[in-house]
Amino acid sequence: MNALLALIGILLAYFGALSLMPIKPLQISSRQDPASSYEMALTRIEKIQTAEQKDKNIDPVCISNLLSQGHQTEKMIVFFHGYTSCPEQFRLLGEKFFEQGYNVFIPRLPRHGPANRLSSELADLTAEELIEFANEMMDIARGLGRKVAVAGLSGGGTMALWLAQHRSEVDVAVALAPFIGVSYVPTFMTPTATNWVLTSPNRFEWWDPKTKEKNPRVSLYSYPRYWTHASGEILRLGLLVKAEAAREKPRARQIALITNANDTAINNNEVAQIVRSWKQFKPNNIKTYEFGRSLNLNHDFITPERLNEKIGFVYQTLFNLIDAQK
């Protein structure tokens, strides 16, 4: 009994210390280099694609994807795919925007899209990498359209939130089920849980421990497992954006946050808190939309094979919501 009480005391002290530990701030440079023309943006994208095509460790279907009208357009959109996925996730939705006159850029996130889906490359992903990458893609986007929209799903949605907070060149920022907190972790415990994940040994977890790499719900271009530290880094980024949102107005002109009432992965209350914070500064520029529980959508409501017959409705709804932003 004494040993058990001692163990409980140690655990309480440990988690108490984690709850008091501040979230580690980002260590990034603020240098920006926006493309001044369509030609400059195209040159940068071609350089990225050429490097990816030469890298045999990257799945060819996951090469950064540009759908171009051949010139700078009035509207363009950048899509950031979800954590462990790749640009192919957004291809069909991107084509819908392209058909309506947009230039569309779907870049491959750092350490994603491996030819070997059991690669451990994702283990060392950091919030700093994601933000430096997001800034670089935003710089490219400046040359592709006179009005720039950025949208992202899950971890990509967290990146979109960061750009909304920091980049005034963003005309429309759209966060789709952004990963700021975990559904089963109470909001007040998210910082503690994040510090626990980041200070614990880095390990991988299967999306489905039973089927592992044969998980039928994971696309053939996605990782069938995730690394805990990488997940913690995305949570860290989300918490830092959340803290900034409470102190300063976002710089994007328009922001839309789109959630799913049936989401069992993320904490929608965390998203709601950011909405409330931003509305203090820009009450008329922050829009929200929630897909109803009756639709029975997954956390990933972008990947075509996860939507089946609902794809037409979901994609049209997303297009209408994003295109309506001015």
Encoded tokens for 320? 């209408």
Q: How far apart are CA 82 and CA 88, in angstroms?
A: 11
Encoded tokens for 49? 């694609």
Q: How far apart are CA 192 and CA 213, in angstroms?
A: 30
Beta bridge pairs of residue 257: 175, 288
Angle between helix 190-199 and 2-20 (nearest 10)? 100
The tens-digit pLDDT sequence of the chain (326 residues) is 544 434 344 333 434 555 547 778 888 766 789 999 999 999 999 999 999 999 999 999 999 999 999 999 999 999 999 999 999 999 999 999 999 999 999 999 999 999 999 999 999 999 999 999 999 999 999 999 999 999 999 999 999 999 999 999 999 999 999 999 999 999 999 999 999 999 999 999 999 999 999 999 999 999 999 999 999 999 999 999 999 999 999 999 999 999 999 999 999 999 999 999 999 999 999 999 999 999 999 999 999 999 989 999 999 999 999 997 75
Q: How far apart are CA 68 and CA 64, in angstroms?
A: 13
Contacts of 313 (CB under 8 A, 6+ apart): none
| pLDDT of the residue at 86 | 98
Q: How far apart are CA 98 and CA 312, in angstroms?
A: 16
Neighbours of 41 (CB within 10 A): 25
Distance of CA 85 to the CA centre of its chain: 10
Q: How far apart are CA 116 and CA 112, in angstroms?
A: 10
- Which domains are seen in the chain, by residue range? 38-323 (3.40.50.1820)
| pLDDT of the residue at 3 | 45
| pLDDT of the residue at 1 | 52
